[in-house]
Amino acid sequence: MKRILFASARDPFSEVETRYPPLWPACLAAMLEKHLGSEAFDFHLLRGKFEDELASFNPDVVAISSVTQNFTIAKEYARAAKARGKPVIIGGPHITALPECLSAEMDVACIGEGEETFLELMRLYLDTPACAAPGTTDRGASRPNGLEQIRGIAYHDNGKLTRTPPRPQRPSLDDLPHPKRSLLGYGRRTYMVTSRGCPYRCVFCGSSRHWGKVRYASPEYVLDEIGELVEHGVRVIRFNDDTFTANKDRLKQIAGMIAAKGFHRQVKFSCWCRANTITPEVVDALKAMNMVAVVMGLESGSDRVLRYLKGPNVTVADNSRAINLLKDAGIQTSADFIIGSPDETEEEIMATYNFIKKSRLDFVTINVFSPLPGTPVWDTVAQKNLVSPDMDWRRLDFKFNSDEGSAIVLSEKLSYEQLRRLHRKFERLVFFKTLKALPRSPWIGELPKLVWRRLIGKAVRLARLR
């Protein structure tokens, strides 16, 4: 039996990052059990301090996943694991976009979709002797033979980064087993992912590049998973698809099936969507399935900036119309915005401020424009030597939470100080809108815990800055 430690590189003081346990370990574990049997593996999900759980669980393989801004944490995990002679496999959006970031302590990178790639890797590791003794730093001590035969990976070979041919995209998500939720624990609230990819190509987002062609799980597959969650006591489900409302016919089928099963009387749903997909027909479907909250990426109150960020198929008028349709239906409506695009002026940023102030939005999140790998913006700033594969990834700080002045700012019109001043102005507006929205929120019973966790996270960050 092989012991696998799954570790998400996350900021432990970020309420958003720690609200739910990560789903990817449950997806990989389910794939392994389906094809290799449950008796072949012992799985453990990292929940506390990495080095403590590494020592107590003593895994045969450490699997890490990371987004870009947390890749420094991922490297720290890899160093600790390698100091104990453990094989390290890294996956996730960051290493997929920049395989050259594979550090000396990381044995293999899974590029792109991970289920089949990880399955093939574990077949090799099942035939590999147990890990080297603690303290061993020989990277080759536990590396299996045959890596060159596996598609969709990267690894070091004699000091040179080697990439195998890309893995073909799995045509149907219905072929995948449902996540092994028992690894995570069910709880009262959780999230699902019912599609992979996005039909839109926002300049700041790497999702459509990461996943390629959009694929949707069938309504039947989705309902089967919802049924499992309801059976285990889940009462709040968030659809974490990039744009849950992108396929309107599928949305209507899912809504109808949820109502037919009576799940709409047992579960509150929420989702991400895009303003130009919101129509009266879509809102009716959302209401029929008891969708109580929606979050949209509205990004800007300036049409010119909005075209730069999201392309020509959405406008500020679309944003306003979507908000009003959802609010008229009694659905909590929240939105993300971005300030600090390269040629965005202070007047255009203030247009966003005024849009938020006058809108009926309940909750708002403000982000600072940041270059992420896998996006067109990254390629542009890399040519200017503003970013590199060996940079401190914490500098990609779209929340302005890092040390004063360290965040990378791409604005050509405003200084760091000017943008930070505007960001603080937005944060004050967000605070007052939040106070106004709290009493009518469908999550009012759960808000004290969420607010407390956010306050703790902010206090820790302030202490770090001192």
When the candidates are 3.80.30.20, 3.40.50.300, 3.90.850.10, 3.40.50.720, the CATH number that belongs to 186-465 is 3.80.30.20
What is residue 138's predicted lDDT score, i.e. its pLDDT? 42
Strand partners, 364: 335
What is residue 159's predicted lDDT score, i.e. its pLDDT? 85
CATH 3.40.50.280 fits 2-163, yes or no: yes
Query: Which DSSP state fits 167?
Result: P
What is residue 399's predicted lDDT score, i.e. its pLDDT? 77
What is residue 129's predicted lDDT score, i.e. its pLDDT? 61
Note the pLDDT tens digit of each residue in 347-366: 999 999 999 999 999 999 99
Mark out the alpha helices in 311-415 (DSSP H runs): 316-328, 346-358, 376-383
CA gap 26, 138 in Å, rounded: 30
What is residue 376's predicted lDDT score, i.e. its pLDDT? 85
CA gap 207, 127 in Å, rounded: 35
Strand partners, 335: 296, 364
Give the residues of the chain that fall short of pLDDT 70.
Answer: 128-142, 401-405, 446-466
| Domain limits, the chain | 2-163, 186-465
DSSP assignment of 154-206, as one string?
A: EEEETTEEEEPPPPPPPS-GGGSPPP-GGGT---SEEEE--EES-S---TT--
Beta strand segments in 53-163, E: 61-65, 88-91, 108-110, 153-157, 160-163
Note the pLDDT tens digit of each residue in 241-253: 999 999 999 999 9
Which helix (H) or strand (E) segment holds residue 292: the answer is strand 291-299
Amino acid type, 335: A
